Amino acid sequence: GTVFRGNQPAAGVAVALGDIGAVSDGSGRFVIRNVRPGVYMLKCGKAAPVQVQIRDGLNQLSCQAQ
């Protein structure tokens, strides 16, 4: 997925999908692997969590950090 601040990619932002975490890289991108299909809460930095649905296969997510 990709984390944005406004229209720009945001580096170094903590991302959580349920209880699995990652940190965005210099391009604002993050990878969370081996997630079972289902509904999760996606949290980016200090922004309020948003609900997302994960399906089988590759899922592209994006979120706004504050």
Q: What is the CB neighbour count within 10 angstroms for residue 43? A: 18
Q: Is residue 66 predicted with pLDDT exceeding 90?
A: no
| Mean of pLDDT values over 14-24 | 95
* pLDDT tens readout for residues 42-65: 999 999 999 999 999 889 999 999
b/e string for 11-38 if b means 16 or more Cβ within 10 A? eebebbbbeeebebeeebebebeeeeee
Measuring CA to CA, how many Å separate 14 from each of 10, 31, 40, 52? 10, 12, 16, 17
| Mean of pLDDT values over 23-44 | 95
Q: Is residue 3 predicted with pLDDT exceeding 90?
A: yes
Query: Residue 3 has which token pair?
Result: 């984390």
| Mean of pLDDT values over 20-42 | 95
| Mean of pLDDT values over 33-44 | 94
